[in-house]
Amino acid sequence: MKPDLILASSSASRQMLMRNAGLAFSAQPADIDERAIDAELEKQGATPDRIAVELAKAKALAVSALNPEAIVLGCDQTMSLGDRIYHKSKDMAEAHANLMCLSGKTHRLNCGAALARNGEIIWDVVTIADMTVRHLDAAFVHRHLERVGPNVLSSVGAYQLEGEGIQLFTAINGDYFTILGLPLLPLLTELRELGLIDG
């Protein structure tokens, strides 16, 4: 019998991507202090891509400890511009400030994923997307945020590419799944190798 696949997340977009790909799974959010892990890694000088994969591993291991026989998928995403790592905006004012910081620049989304079984990491990956934001007018950003509403606070970049957020960009280098927070293509390859899905 194939082991169960558990997504260590409550993310609606990750669940949608996995369902759309035909994966059978359950979702069980990891009970970890992401910000504490994040802060410690930043203090150690970890790169944004390493932080993404270490958080993904922490989530996978936390849920694997409760479900040792299952294959557990942990995911996390960081956003960086130069040396600065961005986190989800606390409120709409911070979302506005963050979008203005991104104006006219190319930032990076680092998407980490890890699979755990029996309390051990058996696979991990990081995929990257480079996102170029057009030059933004402060008044436009204010109107944009009023239109899209507080849902943007659930996204690290204060935008949702699958909606009106696409209007903020001039160029994207990277795949759609990375941007939505799940490196789906390498994940499917690994699940085939593990015999969890038909290959």
The string of pLDDT tens digits covering residues 113-127 is: 999 999 999 999 999
* Average pLDDT estimate for 154-163: 86
| Residue 82 is assigned to a structural domain of this protein | yes
| Residue 102 is assigned to a structural domain of this protein | yes
Helix axes 48-66, 34-43, angle to 10 degrees: 140
- Could you tell me which residues come within 8 angstroms of residue 87 by beta carbon, excluding any fewer than 6 positions away? 35, 38, 156
| Residue 81 is assigned to a structural domain of this protein | yes
Spatial CA neighbour of 112 closest among 123, 122, 121, 125: 125
| Residue 92 is assigned to a structural domain of this protein | yes
| Residue 186 is assigned to a structural domain of this protein | yes
* Average pLDDT estimate for 66-95: 92
* Average pLDDT estimate for 31-36: 90
| Residue 109 is assigned to a structural domain of this protein | yes
- Name the burial class of residue 153, with classes exposed (0-12), middle (13-18) and buried (19+) by CB atoms within 10 angstroms of its CB: middle
What's the number of domains the chain is made of? 1
Residue 31 structural domain: 5-193
Structure confidence at residue 145 (pLDDT)? 96
Structure confidence at residue 79 (pLDDT)? 93
- What rounded mean pLDDT belongs to the chain? 93
Task: Report the percent of the chain where pLDDT is more than 70.
Answer: 99
pTM, to two decimals: 0.90
| Residue 103 is assigned to a structural domain of this protein | yes
Structure tokens given for 10: 């409550």
Q: What residues does 95 pair with on adjacent strands?
A: none
| Residue 199 is assigned to a structural domain of this protein | no
Distance CA 136, CA 169 (A): 10
Structure confidence at residue 162 (pLDDT)? 82
CATH number of the domain within which 43 lies: 3.90.950.10
Active-site amino acid positions? 76
Angle at 22 between CA 20 and CA 26, to 5 degrees: 90
Q: Which amino acid is at 61?
A: L
